[in-house]
Amino acid sequence: MKRLVMAALFGIALALFALPIPSLQADDLASGARIHQKFKLLPGKVTDRYVVYVPFEVTRPGRVRVYHEITGADIRVDQSAELPNYILADARIFEKIDDAEWVKMCKTIVNHVPTLKLEVEVMKEIVQEVKDLLGKEDKPKWYHGGGKLLDKTDPLVLDVDDRDLRTTKGRYVVVLRNPTKGEYHGNILISFPGEVWAVNPDLEAAYERKPDLAVQDITLDPDNRVVVTLVNEGPGWLHEVRYNRTGERVIRLEVEVNGKKAVSVPLAEADPKYALKHKGNPVAYRTEIRLSEPARVMAVIDADDVVAEPDEKNNKKRESLTPREASAASAEPGKRVKRGSEGTAGDGTGTVQAGGGMPDLAVADISLDNRRRVAVRVENRGAGIAPELYRANPPVQVRLLMNGRSWAYVPLAALDPAGALRQPGGSAVWTGDQALREAADITVVLDEGNRLPESNEENNTLTKRLSP
């Protein structure tokens, strides 16, 4: 009778787990790191359970969430009253695991490691019914929660603080255990403050909300350097952990000139401020490619298909670009020359201004806001400027450097979306997205390409040392 009841209960649970878990799609789960993998629990027995370890490393204080779902099972109930279950532990559950072995274990993410030995005291605890372990008031130090798959439809949640990190070295592991004669298949999702994105491609492709990286434009700056504008066309986030600089799963931007690869950079270099995390925040990456003659340029974002996206066609764009000097030399007298991307007319003079005197854009101040983000204030101390300046191609832009290295390029339209600088005496403030973590020299260069004639060119650059 006991076996029949258990089989019936587990059948009901399997039907429940077959339903999608909406929480798996929640964006806030992956504000840090994410592991989402399939698992298989082969048959075991009470005295010799089949065990799968899912190791992960927490690198900063924050919240850990563990979800699971059963996707298939060959139910064979034996004499044991215990069903397949999982626990969350730290690396102290093992008798001995050095740094090299831990790193090796983490590389495959989901492991069946029969060679790893558990602590003697752990063995005594682990062979008992999980309900006995859960019922104890004085739980083992390595134990951080868990329970039977039947009983847990909500995530297991663990808050990790600085003290916990010092004690555990941030090394945690989900232990999946099968003491039955049946075979079970499922998925496990762990979100945690860390530095990895280890998601099975099939599972990621099924996410309802995915990012959509696209090459929005390819143009030339005033120095005839190729500028590639990227955008996330949404609706999902591209989480910060996807900006990995190393390894096989790096998101890369590649640029070809006349069919030859000229640039291949990781996303972290093309978008150091994580503008592409959210939908609709374009970022312009100025390459070191300087054209001296007309060329066919192609840019590809995510060239290795690392990201699961709803539209892969917009990852690539081609443009025929003509550098300013080359086009001017070949143009017929009296005709405007074509500059930038195909189908975009240049203004012929390279400058835009309003009548009635000359404007004077100045970098008035560089500071930190109350969230330690860099804020740049620009003022117009001269005459008004024409609205066309905000649509100029190549654009008037502000260049930011941190400790002498290029950090960001901000087009005038993004710096001053309200158009306040069009009026004499107008001012605009641009604020970055990331908090400054340590003291740095911030340099702001306004209109580096001299697109706008001004009454004073000496106030276009300012450097300040900021300390958070």
One DSSP character per residue, 121-170 reads HHHHHHTS-HHHHHH-SS--TTEEEEEETTT--SPEEEEE-HHHHHHHTT
End-to-end Cα spacing for the chain: 68
> Which range has the worst mean pLDDT, 258-262, 301-305, 310-314, 413-417?
413-417
Inform me whether the pLDDT recorded for 457 exceeds 80: yes
> Which range has the worst mean pLDDT, 24-28, 50-54, 278-282, 320-324?
24-28
Amino acid occupying residue 238: L
Instruction: Indicate the average pLDDT of the chain.
Output: 77
Q: Is the dihedral of CA 315, 321, 324, 325 positive or negative?
A: positive
Number of other CB atoms surrounding residue 273 within 10 Å: 16
β-pairing verdict for 405-411 and 213-220: unpaired
Instruction: State the pLDDT at residue 117.
Output: 58
446 belongs to a structural domain? yes
Inform me whether the pLDDT recorded for 14 exceeds 50: no
- Can you name the residues that pair with 298 across neighbouring β-strands? 256, 318
Query: What distance in Å separates the CA atoms of residue 404 and residue 424, rounded to the nearest whole number?
Result: 32
φ/ψ region of 365 (left if φ > 0, alpha if ψ in -120 to 50, else beta) reads beta
Domain stop point among 170, 205, 240: 205
Instruction: State the pLDDT at residue 330.
Output: 37
DSSP 8-state secondary structure symbol assigned to residue 324: H
- Residue with the two structure tokens 């001053």: 416
Q: Which of 352, 453, 370, 436 is nearest to 400 (CA)?
A: 436
80 and 179 part of one domain: yes
Query: What distance in Å separates the CA atoms of residue 66 and residue 189, rounded to the nearest whole number?
Result: 6
282 and 234 part of one domain: yes
Cα 81 to chain center, whole Å? 44
The model carries a pTM of: 0.61
Sheet containing 397-402: which strands, arranged edge to edge?
405-411, 397-402, 440-446, 461-466
| Phi and psi torsions of 355, nearest 5° | -75, 175
Sheet containing 427-435: which strands, arranged edge to edge?
361-368, 373-380, 427-435
90 and 142 part of one domain: yes
165 and 228 part of one domain: no
pLDDT tens across 151-209, in order? 456 788 899 998 999 999 999 999 888 888 888 888 888 999 888 888 888 888 888 88
Instruction: State the pLDDT at residue 3.
Output: 45
Query: What distance in Å separates the CA atoms of residue 63 and residue 326, rounded to the nearest whole number?
Result: 57
154 and 250 part of one domain: no
pLDDT tens across 62-121, in order? 899 988 888 887 777 665 556 788 889 998 888 777 788 787 788 776 766 555 555 444
Share above pLDDT 90 across residues of the chain, in percent, rounded to a whole number = 22
274 and 383 part of one domain: no
pLDDT tens across 299-346, in order? 999 988 889 999 889 999 999 999 986 434 333 333 333 333 333 333
pLDDT tens across 107-161, in order? 776 766 555 555 444 444 444 444 455 555 567 788 888 765 544 567 888 999 9
163 belongs to a structural domain? yes
325 belongs to a structural domain? no
Query: What distance in Å separates the CA atoms of residue 295 and residue 297, rounded to the nearest whole number?
Result: 6
What kind and span of H or E run contains 100?
A: helix 99-107
Are 169 and 154 in contact by the 8 Å Cβ rule? The answer is no
Are 142 and 122 in contact by the 8 Å Cβ rule? The answer is yes
Residues 365-384 have a mean pLDDT of 89
By three-state DSSP, how is residue 31 classified?
Answer: coil
Query: What distance in Å separates the CA atoms of residue 211 and residue 208, rounded to the nearest whole number?
Result: 10
Inform me whether the pLDDT recorded for 19 exceeds 70: no
CATH of the domain at 440: 2.60.40.10
Share above pLDDT 70 across residues of the chain, in percent, rounded to a whole number = 76
Are 63 and 106 in contact by the 8 Å Cβ rule? The answer is no
pLDDT tens across 345-366, in order? 333 333 333 334 688 899 999 9
309 belongs to a structural domain? yes
pLDDT tens across 267-308, in order? 988 888 888 988 888 889 989 899 999 999 999 999 888 899
176 and 88 part of one domain: yes
Instruction: State the pLDDT at residue 317.
Output: 94
Residues 425-454 have a mean pLDDT of 85
86 belongs to a structural domain? yes
125 and 57 part of one domain: yes
Amino acid occupying residue 314: N
56 belongs to a structural domain? yes
Range of the domain at 300: 213-320
146 and 284 part of one domain: no
460 belongs to a structural domain? yes
326 belongs to a structural domain? no
Where is pLDDT greater, at 84 or 40?
40
Instruction: State the pLDDT at residue 329.
Output: 37
CATH of the domain at 73: 2.60.120.510
Residues 10-18 have a mean pLDDT of 44
193 and 233 part of one domain: no
Domain stop point among 139, 170, 205: 205
Instruction: State the pLDDT at residue 279.
Output: 87
Instruction: State the pLDDT at residue 78.
Output: 60
Number of domains in the chain: 3
Domain stop point among 169, 184, 205: 205
375 and 239 part of one domain: no
Instruction: State the pLDDT at residue 226.
Output: 92
Inform me whether the pLDDT recorded for 248 exceeds 70: no
64 and 110 part of one domain: yes
DSSP 8-state secondary structure symbol assigned to residue 117: P
